[in-house]
Structure 1
Amino acid sequence: FAAVGAAHAADLPVKKAVPIEYVRVCSTYGAGFFYIPGTDTCLRLSGRARFEGGYQTAYTRQFNQGGDTAGYGTRMRINLDARTQTGYGTLRAFVRLDAGYRSGGPYGGGTSGTQQRIGQAYAALGVDQFGRGQSYMNVDKAFIQFAGLTAGRASSFFDFYAHDFEFTGATAGSDVFSTNLLAYTATLGNGLSATISAEDPIFRRTGLFSPSVNAANVTVNAAVVNFGLTNSPIPVVTGFNAAGAPSRFNFVDGIEKSRLPDFVGVLRLDQAWGSAQVSAAVHELNANNVQNTLGFIPG
């Protein structure tokens, strides 16, 4: 039986193993890229993890009154950079996601009420967590680049270069103006390029009027002046009496409206010694009157 069995086995067709397609290194776009199996697309996956903590001596046990001054936070970042070579140039898609979890009181740098109001963070519910624990997510970058076009959320082309360190007024900033944009960059040769960009204006807006006092530094009604939180109009002084004191005011909507994008023009030079750039921008400032009848300041 053993001999017969061997003869039958020799007559059976041999099934070949499926060839294994190993991940290949893609050196076209720099270190860290590899070919996605079965495609001509090169992908780089990167990221980082971060832990931070803060401590400040607490002198009271009352929450929101200095009782929770210590806080902790864990942050993560994931970068996905995919590039494909086409007959019209490189097609690129880039995504950067930031997420994290933080805890602590308002003075420990833990939770952020602003992030929750804009839907970017969520309060953690549970025993002794509400108001102290918070998860958040941020789409820092998400854009497509092809044939000179850039579309999506990216660093503003008005900025000199990404992750720079600059002084804006009295505040130090580092690439904080990621914005939604549609731009076209023309390469002129010898490292010279020109860009025109239409960008979402809301990331560079500030209030036109003070949220607590009017233009003449006179408090009219403290209960209705904070438009950003209460949606109440801001009183602005528009008239004065014979003695020069403010006597009349008008209610004004101090939050700017989205009517026109920011138009940015850039001329940039990149050489072996470094880079230089000239930027110009058009930004609309507007405010709407919500009550045309002038009010009178008592007294």
Structure 2
Amino acid sequence: MNVRSLFLGSAAALISVSVACAADEVSAPDPTEYVKICDVYGSGYFYIPGTETCLRIGGYIRYDIGLGDVRSYDGARTSDLRTGEAQGTWRKNARFTFKTWTDQETELGALKTYTETGINFGNRNAYSGPESPQNHAFNSGLTLASAWMQLGGLRIGKDGSAFDTFTGYAGNVLDNILVPYGDFDANVAQYYFDAGNGFSAVVSLEQGSGVVGTIDSHVPHVVVGVKQTQGWGAITGVIARDSNYEALAGKVRVDVQVTDDLSLFGMFGYGSIGNLNDDPTNAVAAHGRGFYKTWGGNWAFWAGATYEFDEKTSFNLQVSGDQLRNAGVAANIAYMVVPGFTVTAEVDYYHYGNFGLGTADRSGVNWTGAGKKNSLAGILRFQSSF
């Protein structure tokens, strides 16, 4: 072995040792050293490092395409930018929603939090008559759907009104408020009770939202609900007192699991009009609509079904109506292309009977302001959830 060979061999050895040491220094540590799975509260949770709090994050990206003139997913009207002529256009909306859940055990019971925030971009009607429709796409800013904390049975924060959340949404259709069944946004202070045998109850003090719904004094709106759940389904009842108008409204719902593939529901609502009509200068109040009794007249109904053809495809139906002969039918097919990605195609029909009661009656004008007795619309939704 000559000097040159000895030198090259020594250099190669030193380089090998250096590379090995460097690899040891930059190699990624075992993820379990930083993230520990928390399976106590369900899938998707992990421990926040250094705490006993379990965190889950999720959300979805959604893209809606609407065509027609029915309620919140109407196809919208606009003006030709060159001629000013009124014409139709697509109703589009893209949404990103971010959700968080936290859970931990304390000496006073489970401590939970939930947040849901959405961001939207799309076009929406600013309808001011058939001669001057406006329809522009824009960012509509952040929307705080929920932000509450719960210790044991006590929940406080921002959430949907218990008048709606306790009974559940009116079916699995996209536009389930063809005949509205209550407002959703409210600051709440609630207490939930679960007997563990299928019986549960809630008492909710609420601030409400909007011009008509926000409380106008120190007296909150009050919602009380009870539910009995069994293997065949559930019976739920809620009653609410609107403190602004001293008006009562209530709903009773029955859910039935007919087979493993078929489920049905029926919901009936009744509310007093009386004091809701006490201000003829308030168009909403003068039509007998408050924060809870948002349907027309005293009573309204909602009924529907979900049938699962297989693990990927389902059919959903909802029919609804109220005392003032407003009525709606919504039906869709939802198809899960791959886990986490679903495409839904829906057709909606709305019949305008009468907007409401009182001196501010808007005869001949339906919810979209289009002056139609019968309206038809279609919705195509793409949603990826995580």
- Please report how far the alpha carbon of residue 166 of structure 1 lies from its aligned counterpart in structure 2 after TM superposition: 9.5
Please give the secondary structure, in 1, of the residue aligned with 2:86.
coil
Alignment match, 1:138? 143
Q: Distance in 1 between matches of 2:219 and 2:83?
A: 43
Whether 1:200 and 2:159 are equivalent positions in the alignment is no
Unaligned runs of 5+ in 2: 1-9, 11-23, 68-74, 128-133, 246-274, 282-386
Residue aligning to 2:353: none
Q: What's 1:23 paired with?
A: 35
CA distance in structure 1 between the aligned counterparts of 2:183 and 2:203, rounded to whole angstroms = 20
Separation in structure 2 between the aligned mates of residue 195 and residue 181 of structure 1, nearest angstrom: 12
Q: Partner residue of 2:152? A: 147
Match of 2:223 among 264, 267, 272: 264
**Matched residue of 1:158: which SS?**
helix
> Any conservation in 2 of the 1:179–1:203 contact (CA below 8 Å)?
no
Post-superposition offset of 1:198: 0.6
Aligned residue for 2:195, secondary structure, equals strand
1:161 to 2:158 alignment: no
Deviation at 1:63, TM superposition (A): 8.3
Deviations 1:199-229 (A, max 9, x none): 12335947xxxxxxxxxxxxxxxxxxxxxxx
Work out which structure has the larger RCO, using CA pairs closer than 8 Å and 6 or more positions apart in sequence.
Answer: 2
CA apart distance, 1:193: 2.2
Greater strand content: 2
Equivalent-residue separation in structure 2 for 1:165 and 1:139 (angstroms): 23
| Change in 2 beyond 3 A, CA 1:263/1:32 | same
Q: Does 1:282 align with 2:241?
A: yes
Matched to 1:29, the amino acid is: Y
Name the structure 2 match of 1:69.
Answer: 89
Query: Which residue number corresponds to residue 112 of structure 2?
Result: 92
CA deviations on 1:27-49 (whole Å, 9 max, x unpaired) are: 11111111112211111111111
Structure 1 unpaired stretches of 5+: 3-15, 103-109, 115-129, 207-254, 291-299
Q: From the two aligned structures, give the one with the greater helix fraction.
A: 2
CA shift at 1:268, angstroms?
1.7
| Residue 93 of structure 1: how far off its partner (Å) | 0.7
Mapped to 1, the partners of 2:53 and 2:84 lie a distance apart of 51
Q: Distance in 2 between matches of 1:178 and 1:67?
A: 34
TM-score normalized by the length of structure 1 = 0.56
| Cα distance in 2 between the residues matched to 1:79 and 1:31 | 15
Percentage of pairs with the same residue: 26
Aligned 8 A contact 2:163 2:223 in 1? yes
Inter-partner Cα distance in structure 1 for 2:61 and 2:172: 25
Once residues 84 and 154 of structure 2 are traced to their aligned partners in structure 1, the CA distance between those partners, rounded to angstroms, is 48
CA deviations on 1:124-155 (whole Å, 9 max, x unpaired) are: xxxxxx97231122101111111210111112
Change (3 A) 1:195 1:256: closer
Q: 1:202 to 1:155 in 2, by over 3 A?
A: closer
Shift of 1:279: 1.4
Structure 1 residues 203 and 185 mapped into 2: Cα distance closer, same or farther (>3 Å)?
A: farther
